[in-house]
Every structure is written in C-alpha cells, then in structure tokens.
Amino acid sequence: MNNTQSIEVRELCQRAVDSSGVLTILDNVSFTVATGQAVAITGSSGSGKSTLLGLMAGLDVPSSGSVHLFGHDLFSLDEEARAAIRSAHVGFVFQSFQLLPNLTALENVMLPLELSGRQARDLATDMLVRVGLQDRLHHYPKTLSGGEQQRVSLARAFVVRPSVLFADEPTGSLDTGNGQKIIELMFELHREHQTTLVLVTHDPQLAALCQHEIRLQAGRAM
C-alpha cells in the first residue's frame, strides 16, 4: 500500500442470510483514504454505512474483499492481532457515546491510556481541559449533558493520538447547537493532530466539511 494512504478498501462485500435468502449489505466497494484526510460515508438508512465503518476498523470480517489499515491486511490477521492494531492506531466516537457509567469523565478518558500501559492522569486531564470540561473531571456520565458526554467521548478518542478516528453519526444524539459545537471541536482536533477522519453521517452539512464523500446506495459506492 502507498504510504500516503491510511486505508485501502478493495472489492469489499458483506452478505447475510435471512428467511428471504441472501441479503447483500455491501457490494464490491473499493476506495482509498489518504493520510490526514477527512472522509464522509453517506447514504440512506440501511445502505451499509455502519457496516462499512465496522469492516474498515476490523471489528467484523467481510464475506470477501480486503481492508489494509496502515499497511496491515486486516483480514489476514486473527482478532487478537486486529485488536492490537486498533489499540495502536484507532480511535472511535459513537452516536451513543459509549462511556462507562461507573467511571468519571477523567477515568473514562484515562482508560485507553491505562490499557496501553501509559501514564494516564495528566494526559487525560489536559485533553478534557482542551475540550472545555475542566470543571467536569470528576462527574459521572449520568450527570453530564449529551453534549458534554460527547466531548468526553472525543477526549477519550483523541487522548491516545490515534492515526485514524472512526466516527459513527457523532452528532446524531445531539440538538443542533451542541451538534455544531461537537463538529467544530472534532475538526479542530483532526487538524491539530493530523488524524485521518472517517465519519458516517446523514448530515449533508457535516459531509461537506470533508475532503471526500463516499455515498452508498444499496450497498454500492456511488
């Protein structure tokens, strides 16, 4: 893989079997993502957007095709090796935040650092200050607003300095005002850290901020 490319997707297919027969979720999808680029994956509900994102991150295995992530052929590896690559290179932001409810904001952000054996408290504190939550370090998720929870999620994703950030409808659970603040913050961090950003969205304004758009229709890239 060209070393200016973070991600290379080739002839990716995903099929599932249900009571009506074989369902094609993704159909021969191919594209590349350049290092440091922001890419939007768009399409109607059921077009395969989240499935594609999960395959790009090696969270699932395709029916056929390949994904190279930073030169690693993900599906030639076992799950343990794929998990090691994610730990080293990948951050995630989800629509539903995915914060651990029994951990404070600071502890949630410290967790990925601790799992990688790094000194965590100072780095996590600095990142929460960066996203404007210096007064919420010791608050639990249930005491935070949706916008604040998504800021914690962004801090947790960026604190490990990921090479690529995968975001699945990052503003889908937020009102317009909070959604706009999260968008601005996510793109600021993307530019500061030169992180490759791949996001799933139904929001055309968010997609327009990206350098490239991959539009899915019935599992095919348009």
* Domain assignment of residue 99, given as a range: 5-221
Consecutive H or E run containing 216: strand 212-217
β-bridge partners, 199: 40, 167
β-bridge partners, 200: 41, 168
Our count of domains for the chain comes to 1
Give residue 2's pLDDT band: very low, low, confident or very high (50, 70, 90): very low
**Residue 125: pLDDT above 50?**
yes
Average pLDDT, the chain: 92
The closest alpha carbon to 216, from 24, 6, 16, 19, belongs to: 24
- CB proximity list for 29: less than 8 A, separation 6 or greater: 9, 11, 12, 13, 48, 52, 65, 216, 219, 220, 221
Helix (H, G, I), strand (E, B) or coil at 130: helix
Q: Where residue 202 sits, what CATH number does that domain have?
A: 3.40.50.300
Tokens of 157: 């994703």
**Could you give the strand order of the β-sheet that contains 21-34, starting from the edge strand earlier in sequence?**
21-34, 5-18, 64-69, 72-73
**Residue 1: pLDDT above 90?**
no
The model's pLDDT over 21-54, given as tens digits with 9 standing for 90+, comes to 888 999 999 999 999 999 999 998 889 999 999 9
